Each structure stands twice: as structure tokens, then as C-alpha cells.
Amino acid sequence: MSAASHWLVRSEAVAAAQAAGRPLVALESTIIAHGMPYPENVQTARAVEALIRELGAEPATIAVVGGRIRIGLSDEQLELLGRSGTAHKVSRRDLPAVLASGELGATTVAGTMVCAALAGIEVFVTGGIGGVHRGAETSFDISADLQELAKTSVAVVCAGAKSILDIGLTLEYLETQGVPVLSCGQDNFAAFYTRDSGLRADYRLDGAAQQARFIRAKWDLGLAGGVVLSTPVPEDAAMPRAEIDAITTQALAEAAAQGISGKAVTPFLLARIKALTGGRSLATNIALVKHNAQVGARLALALAASRF
């Protein structure tokens, strides 16, 4: 048993699935604690888990509760995360702090990747990844998600990245770090609320078997690190580009005017966008996460079948 296993607790369902060799899909908890209002956050988390189960994989929502990394949450733990309002935002840097203090922690993309890898889970479904912020040439604000993708071997299924980021620089950074960006369903990288970022992904692979073969080849070669799999929000749930652009510009200006910095930047921007779009962005967010969950479950099944 490794020293890490002291800090990890699997739910019964996750432990049983792993013992039986069934594919798992990791899910993050920042989206529950910070990304959506209660009760939609908890309802969505449960709906996403159910979608993954329907497709034959086992969901493992990850968070830090009671000084342990939880791989798979009980209904009570989901509810706690959804209601508490006090969960810490936990990236790689913050994991030791919440484990040591025993406080509640909602894991980001980077934090969830660390935990998924420790638990032996290859596929992780999220909404949107963090990235290089606009103006990063002076602020140095580059999400730890990108460094995590560079070194931790987990496939991250997402609806691209929000345009609060400099998506072009985000893709450049991933290229430098050797992280492949795959797109499913279209040639271009997705932009979260809208389908098209205007920038090409590295490779378009629509089928789960193709995606799995690509990812397995990378890891079999010992090329450690993540893979981004972008899939666009379903057409009927996408938001108009002009509307989201205007709101993004306003949120960025407010952040600059208020001198928001460090780990508070992303939550501030996300909260402002949520407020400025009224309830509409929530429906888009829910639709894209559910769609990502289906893509991720199919990938997990294909990856499990692709071991040599």
C-alpha cells in the first residue's frame, strides 16, 4: 500500500467497480460547490452520475471531505458540497492544506486530475478547463490546470474553454507542454457557451474507439501527461456568440477595475458571467456537462477495452 492510500477513500460503488474491472469516470466538485447554484448543482451532479451509469461506466465524483480525498461521494456528501458555500477551491497547491485542516474542499481540474490519477482513473469529465488568461503576458496568470495536463496521465473531457481566457495562448501553451488537444464532433476547439472558438484542435477524432487508440498509444509509449478531448455544447443549448462576448468583456473590465488577482480571478469572472447572463447560462452549462458525461463514459468504455 502506498503512503497516498492513507489519504484516499473510495465509495463502495467505486471500490466494487474497480474490483470488477469496470471503467470509471472521474467528476470534479468545483462545478458543484462554486459553478452552479443550489439545488441545480446537486441535481445536475446526480443526473450526470446517472447518465454515466446508464452507459455502463461508474462515476466517481471527487472532493476532499473530513481530511480525506473522497473518490465517489455519498448523497450526503454531495448535498454538503452543494449547500455549504464555504468549500475551498482546491488545485494541486491546495490539496495538502485541506487534507491537513480537515476542511471541505472542492477540487478544480488540476486537483481532480491529481486525485483521479492516484485512484487509477483514466477519464475525467468536466465543463471547461482553466487556461492562459487574457493579459497573462503581464499578470503571469496561467491556470495550474495546464501544468497538470502536462504531467498527469488523465484524459480530460470538456466543452473547451471559456472566452474569459485567451484561448489561442491556451492552445499554444498546451502544444509547448506536449498535451494533445482532440476534438470530437467538429474540427475546432469548443468555447464552452458557444460551439466554436475559431481555433483548430490538433486532431479531430469523432469515435470513442479512435480516441481510445490515440490515448492508449500515448500512454503505452510512456508519454506521461493528459489529453484534452473537446466536444461542443449541443446546438440547441448554445448561447449566441455576440451576447457572450459582450458579457465577457464587461466581466473582464470589472475584474480589472476591482483589482481582482490570484486564485480569485476565475471564480470572480465565472460569477459575474453567471449574473450577467441571468439564468440562461445555467441551462447551457447543465446541457454541456451532461453531453460531456456521455462522451466521457463512451471513452472510458473504449479505453478499458484497449489495453494490450
Give the footprint of ligand PSU on this chain (CB under 6 A). Answer: 28, 30-31, 35, 91, 108-110, 127-128, 130, 143-145, 162, 192, 263, 266, 270
Nearer to ligand PSU by Cβ, of 114 and 212: the residue is 114
H helix or E strand, kind and range, residue 60: strand 58-65
Nearer to ligand PSU by Cβ, of 31 and 212: the residue is 31
Interaction partner, residue 162 (Mn ion, ligand PSU, none; CB < 5-8 Å by kind)? ligand PSU
Rounded to the nearest whole angstrom, what is the least distance from the CB of residue 133 to Mn ion in the complex? 6
Displacement of CA 28 from its chain's centroid (Å): 6
Taking a C-beta distance cutoff of 8 angstroms, is the pair 234, 226 a contact?
A: no
Determine which one of 89, 162, 218, 290 is catalytic: 162
Rounded to the nearest whole angstrom, what is the least distance from the CB of residue 27 to ligand PSU in the complex? 11
Rounded to the nearest whole angstrom, what is the least distance from the CB of residue 36 to Mn ion in the complex? 21
Query: Applying CB under 5 A, does 141 fall inside the site for Mn ion?
Result: yes
Going 180 to 191 to 31 to 135, the CA torsion angle's sign is positive
Distance between CA atoms of residues 104 and 142, nearest Å: 25
Nearer to Mn ion by Cβ, of 50 and 271: the residue is 271
In the annotation, is 12 catalytic? no
Angle at which helix 75-84 crosses helix 40-54, to 10 degrees, equals: 140
Interaction partner, residue 127 (Mn ion, ligand PSU, none; CB < 5-8 Å by kind)? ligand PSU
**In terms of DSSP H, where are the helices of the chain?**
12-19, 30, 40-54, 75-84, 95-101, 109-119, 136-139, 144-151, 167-176, 208-220, 241-257, 265-276, 280-304
In the annotation, is 274 catalytic? no
Distance between CA atoms of residues 234 and 195, nearest Å: 8
Query: Applying CB under 5 A, does 148 fall inside the site for Mn ion?
Result: no
Rounded to the nearest whole angstrom, what is the least distance from the CB of residue 143 to Mn ion in the complex? 5
Q: Which residues here bind Mn ion, judged by CB under 5 A?
A: 141
Q: Which residues does the annotation mark as catalytic?
A: 28, 162
